[in-house]
Chains A and B, each alone.
Chain A
Amino acid sequence: MAEAITTLIPVQELVLGQLADIREAIIDAVVQKASSELTLPEEQLLVRDIRAYDDLKFGANTDYLATAQSTNVWGTFKHTDTYVAEAATAGAYVDAVPDSTTMADQRYIVLYGVRDMRESLATVIEQDISLIKFTIGTSDKVIWDLSKCEAYKDGIAGVTPSAVVIPPLAPYQIDPYLMDGGVVPYLQLMGFVVEPVGLLLVPDRKEEVL
Chain B
Amino acid sequence: MNRTRQIYLTPVSELAPGAIAAIRNEIIDILTARASRELNKLPEQLLVRDLRPFDDLGWATHADIGTTALTENEWIFTSDDSANYGAFTKMIADAYDELAKDRYVAVYGVKDMRMSLATPIAQALSMLKINVGGNDKVIWDLQNMQAYPTALAAVCPPPGVIIPPSTAFQIYGYGGLADGAAATDIASYIVLEGIVVEPKGKVLSA
Contacts and interface: CB of A to CB of B under 8 A. Distances in A.
B66 interface: no
Given A81-B182, A115-B147, A201-B138, A209 B5 contact: no
A45 B1 CA distance: 13
A47 to B, nearest CB: 5
B119 interface: yes
A201 B144 contact: no
B23 to A, nearest CB: 12
A31 interface: yes
B177 A200 contact: no
B127 A51 contact: yes
Residue among B4, B85, B126, B146 with max Cβ neighbours from chain A (10 Å):
B4
A165 to B, nearest CB: 15
B122 A49 contact: no
B101 interface: no
Interface residues of B, number: 57
B135 to A, nearest CB: 4
Given A71-B86, A80-B180, A81-B182, A48 B139 contact: yes
Interface stretch (A1-9, A89-97, A151-159, A172-180): A151-159
Nearest to A155: B148
A119 interface: yes
B9 interface: yes
A136 interface: no
A81 B159 contact: no
A45 B5 contact: yes
Given A82-B181, A209-B162, A72 B2 contact: no
B181 A49 contact: no
A70 B86 contact: yes
A157 B5 contact: no
B168 interface: no
A188 B34 contact: no
A41 B174 CA distance: 32
Contact of B4 (A23, A47, A76, A83): A47
Contacts of A47: 4-8
A117 B159 contact: no
B137 A81 contact: no
Contact of B159 (A70, A75, A192, A204): A204
17 contacts: A20-B15, A28-B2, A49-B9, A50-B141, A52-B141, A73-B126, A78-B182, A80-B181, A80-B182, A115-B144, A200-B136, A200-B139, A201-B138, A203-B161, A204-B5, A209-B34, A210-B33
